[in-house]
Amino acid sequence: MKLPRNIILICCCIIGICISFIYSLKINYNSIQDIKANVHVNIEINKLYESFITVIARLESGDIELRLSRDNINTLPMVVLYSKIDNGNPFPPFIRTLFFRIPKESANETLDAINGISIFIGNKLFYFSHNDVMNLQGEEHNGFMLYELRGLEYKKSFISSLLKIHPWINWYGDLNFTVKTISYFIYHPDKFIITWCFLFVILIIFRNNINNIYSVIIKQKTQLAEYALLCFIALTGFILRINGYDFHSSWYDELYSSVIASDPNKPFINTFGDPGNPPFYFILLRVWFIIFGWTEQSGRFLSIITGTAAIIALYILIKRFANKKAAFMAVLYMSVSEYFIGFSQETRSYILVVLLAVISADRFLIIIKNQNLTIKNLTGYIIPTILLVNTHYYGILMVFASFLFFVIYLTNTKTLTKKKTIVFFAGNIIIALSFLPYFFYTALNKALLDQNFNSWIQKPGRDFIYTALVIVLLGAMYLYKRKFLYTTIISSSCKIFINYALFISSVIYLIAFSISFYRPLLERKYIIILYPFIIAVVALILLKIITIFIDKTFTNKAKLFTNIFIVFFVLLLILNELDEPGGGWDLYQEAQAYISKDSDANSQLINMSIDHHSNVRSFAAFYGYKELPFYKDGDKYNVIYFNPIHKNDDFIYSKLDEFGIKYNQILKIRINEQKNVFKIYSYDLE
């Protein structure tokens, strides 16, 4: 009787899970971020006809008429009508189709008055030239002509074709929707409380089976289950990193990495030319481009692979020197952390720094633990550390901190000898020598002796000062109470690792903090090198506290479920409270796409652009765009375009003042609410 009852109960739970999940998703899908792209519409039209045109968006809830705004400062015959498509919610709506509506009696004249239509969906531009507009086929409706803008689609949707519905033009894709929905379901259990209740009932029903499986796995000598779980976590991290990696275009620093430093068509010495970053990442990226192609997607994929490898490397480090369970907890956090995901989706060196720092620490602790400075052990430490110091300046701080720890630890354990000191010091000399070519070619003159280098970094502010004070205070408390901690919270098996992780994190931060009062170099994204060690320490402490709590409170049978429950919600708490996305983006590609399309559509005019940055000349080729001639004061032109990469409108206006260009010659093409392409007409065009 019990078996049929359980089967009926399980079937009811499964049905309840499906119904409650679909229902909860339906009422909460508008709160799921990044499943729909923002849409911005720009129509360049003769002022005489601007009142005749209306843009209509067909949403899930019906058609809405868009409010079209315009600039009032220009004296040109043309104006740009602009609108962002929204329905009053913080996230963009599902958009099926875009139309524009014109009174029937003035339809032909109004179409002829449109110079171009630019629609930005996410980071993609859909451009309709004057000829494209004139070829649109309209439908008459209640005295108006409706013209559908066809071909607008960010990504194809299997779901829409399966349901036989019109696809959404701003849909980020089915895979993205699946990943974001699962993430939202896990991160926001309060939104799916009924679904979680049904899941909890199923866990209770199968509690004996799960305990038995768990007991069998624990007793097995094979490590298959461990490897399977690690692969699952790493695969989860990979999927989260590859999903949406191309939804935002490269920002300035990424373009610099790809075009100035690592372009395989430029001299190899370019990889040594950046005073802010040593050359190893640029060399690696250059080789990667040679093998897999010089594209934005290719460059970012290298970071995705590196970020996934960092998950595995961190697991090996923590498991080897601390605790397997803590290792799983730490890498689970790293795999789903938006901070690490963000840095794994940009063509920059920061996630490589994380990987190399973890490998270097692993090889260093092997030397410390075994106290055996063989050629094999020393080489295993030297090679990744050479790569680290030649990837980022903070690698040098890590080498210095590691050497200090080596001397202090061996002195404290009374195992320090002259031979060990000389051998390890010689290894550090080799590491330092590897940095000299870059140091003398680039870093000395362009960074250390140049007071304008990295002038954007400010001296430590309040947050950094408070952090330094907290580190000093906690360090003092740790030294004072370390015997108590060793007997209650920190197990002897992981004492070396925790000491090293705390020491390395504190020393690197405090050195960077101290130097920054003379020469600022403390920046949040730079201290990503410390995060793996901080995560490891937090995981070890949390795991110990959880274990003590469970041992005193629950029976053996309930321990597994309680452990899972507590770890799950601790992770949720950390993710919701502390996570901030890493990485960044600019809008160069979107702006350059518009400039390229619009100038090609008006090739009979003399089109130019403004060179406001020494590197901007090389960026267009990365995306396959033709770079226009650069305007010089006094040149004759019909149209000048200004791509505002990494700059705001105030900078653009100041640049225009240098050329004596009046503001009433400007049209603004809005890529989004913050960035505009400036299109500057000559008065001769009138």
pLDDT given for residue 444 in this prediction: 85
Q: Is residue 29 part of a domain?
A: no
Give the residue with greater pLDDT, 138 vs 453. Answer: 138
Least confident of 63-72, 164-173, 294-303: 164-173
Q: Within a domain: residue 611?
A: yes
Over residues 467-513, the pLDDT tens digits come to 999 999 988 888 887 777 666 666 667 889 999 999 999 999 999 99
**What predicted TM-score, i.e. pTM, was given to this entire model?**
0.91
Q: Do 661 and 638 share a structural domain?
A: yes
> Are 594 and 565 in a shared domain?
no
Is residue 22 assigned to a domain? Answer: no
Full domain range(s) for residue 601 = 588-685
Determine, yes or no, domain membership for 495.
yes
Q: Is residue 408 part of a domain?
A: yes
Is residue 197 situated within a structural domain?
A: no
**CA 201 to mean position of chain CA atoms:** 37
Q: Verify that 355 and 401 share a domain, yes or no.
A: yes
Same domain for 461 and 599, yes or no, is no
Integer CA distances (angstroms), 15 to 11, 49, 188, 200, in order: 6, 57, 21, 14
> Which residues, including other chains, have CB under 8 Å from residue 236's CB and lie 6 or more apart?
335, 336
Q: Which of 135, 162, 189 is the last residue of a domain?
A: 162
Please indicate, yes or no, whether residues 368 and 422 belong to a single structural domain of this protein.
yes
Q: For the residues 406-431, what does the mean pLDDT come to?
A: 91
Q: Which two tokens stand for residue 626?
A: 């033709």
456 token code pair:
């954007």
Q: Both 677 and 545 in a single domain?
A: no
Q: How confident is the model at residue 41 (pLDDT cuts 50, 70, 90)?
A: very high
Confidence of residue 358 (pLDDT cuts 50, 70, 90): very high
pLDDT band at 122 (very low <50, low <70, confident <90, very high): very high
- The confidence band for 113, taking pLDDT boundaries of 50, 70 and 90, is very high
Residues 6+ apart with CB under 8 A from 365: 317, 320, 321, 496, 497, 500
Among residues 109, 143, 162, which one ends one of the domains? 162
Q: Are residues 439 and 495 in the same domain?
A: yes
Could you report the per-residue pLDDT of 666-675, keeping only the tens digit for each? 999 999 888 8
Per-position DSSP letters for 432-444, written without gaps between them: HHHHHHHIIIIII
Q: Are residues 58 and 155 in the same domain?
A: yes
Q: Is residue 614 part of a domain?
A: yes
Same domain, 233 and 314: yes
- Report how far residue 302's alpha carbon sits from residue 346's, in angstroms, rounded to the nearest whole number: 9
Provide the number of structural domains found in the chain: 3
CA distances from 16 to 4, 127, 295, 328 (A): 18, 47, 47, 31
Q: Assess if residue 652 is contained within a domain.
A: yes
Q: Give the residue from 510, 544, 578 where a domain finishes.
A: 578
**Confidence band, pLDDT 50/70/90 cuts, at residue 424:** very high
pLDDT of residue 127: 97
pLDDT number for residue 580: 52
Q: What is the CATH number of the domain that holds 135?
A: 2.60.60
